[in-house]
Amino acid sequence: MSTPRRWPSNPPIGDTQQTQLSTDGVTTLEKRWHSCCRALASAEPRSPALRIQDGSDAREGSTATMIMLLGDVHHDLAAMRDVIEQCPPQVQTIVQVGDLWVWPDSDDVPPNADGTPRGRPPYPDHRGLHWRQPQRDISAIDGNHFPYWLSRGLTRPTPIAAGLLYLPRGTVAVLQGRNGPLRVGFLGGADSLMDAAWRQKGVDWWPEEESVKAQDVDQLLANAQSLGGLDLLITHTPPATITAAMTRGEAPHPSAVMVEEAWRALGGGVADAPVELIAGHMHMPFRDEVLRVEVLDYLGVTFR
């Protein structure tokens, strides 16, 4: 099995020192992200081994039902399939936490809300986007690298490709975890502020739709109230507090601020919070056991 792709080295986590600005006003972290995203666009897909971040969740011989959460995939669909193939048999639900690039066959594209055919934009010039049904069905939220033409107008969980269920922002569900039922909320979305220069609007970038908005937060909170609260919140971008900790105190992007608002309204952001949060987006792992937050690495995996 091939070695997992290694991303460029990242700054220390938890250091609140401001990232140094270059002479053109672009932070060193942004430059690192530019390099990382360009490598992603040009590299051949790889097939990593299953990388479990919490170490204790997939106990060999365990019979407990579990939820598997999968980090950013982008267009590494072959690698995603490899990870899914290795998931333990006790996993009942697989949730991908955003930035899943997929261009399904025409037969799998859902119609518009009024029943009319959904228009397809030009096929973007990226490798590996052709969707093949994975060995296990998965559910996914959106991110800032997502074909929004495919989900536009969808307000309920909807299949958007063979074996792929899209979870709109604000969706809530009760899922069976390893320690019992979990009330789970989903809030996709993020901002593309670092790689927009080489993306094409309406082809592989939808800036008006990718950001988390106030109505997304309102929908989540209303739906969460119907369940009496949430045990687990799954987002694409981490909250602003967490992105600041992961980027040496850089100013958070607008969507991270919106996620922070939702997180705190649900009781998060304090020690031993009643709601746990799992996110992606940052392409590096992070855990805060006091605040009950975990950020998944690129193609990283955790279980609940």
Q: What does the alpha-carbon distance between residue 238 and residue 208 come to, in Å, rounded to a whole number?
A: 20
Retrieve residue 37's tokens: 């995203």
User: Exposure of 289 by Cβ count < 10 A (0-12 exposed, 13-18 middle, 19+ buried)?
Assistant: exposed
Residue type, 249: G
CA atoms within 13 Å, Cβ hemisphere of 109: 19
Q: Give the pLDDT of residue 9.
A: 30
Q: Which of 223, 56, 232, 238 is nearest to 155 (CA)?
A: 223
CATH of 28-114+121-303, one of 2.40.128, 3.60.21, 3.90.1690, 3.40.50: 3.60.21
Q: Give the pLDDT of residue 207.
A: 87
Q: Give the pLDDT of residue 63.
A: 67
Q: Give the pLDDT of residue 54.
A: 61
- 139 dihedral zone (left: phi>0; alpha: psi -120 to 50; beta): beta
DSSP code of residue 297: P
Please count the other Cβ atoms lying within 10 Å of the Cβ belonging to residue 278: 23
Task: Per-residue pLDDT tens, the chain, 304 aa: give them.
Answer: 333 322 223 322 332 222 232 333 334 444 444 444 444 444 444 445 566 766 444 545 566 799 999 999 998 999 999 999 999 999 999 999 999 988 887 778 888 888 898 888 777 666 667 788 899 999 999 999 999 999 999 999 999 999 999 999 999 999 999 999 999 999 999 999 778 777 888 778 888 899 999 999 999 999 999 999 999 999 999 999 999 999 999 999 999 999 999 999 999 999 999 999 999 999 999 999 999 999 999 999 999 9
Q: Give the pLDDT of residue 158.
A: 94
- Radius of gyration over every alpha carbon of the chain, rounded to an integer in angstroms: 18
pTM of the model: 0.82
Q: What is the dihedral of CA 257, 259, 261, 265, to 10 degrees?
A: -170
- Alpha-carbon separation of residue 197 from 33, 34, 172, 192 (angstroms): 13, 10, 35, 10
Q: Give the pLDDT of residue 124.
A: 66
What are the extents of the domains in the chain?
28-114+121-303
In sequence order, what DSSP letters do the residues of 29-98 get, joined into one string?
Answer: HHHHHHHHHHHHHHSPP--PPP-BSSSSSS-TT----EEEEE---BT-HHHHHHHHHTS-TTEEEEEE-S
Residue type, 172: V
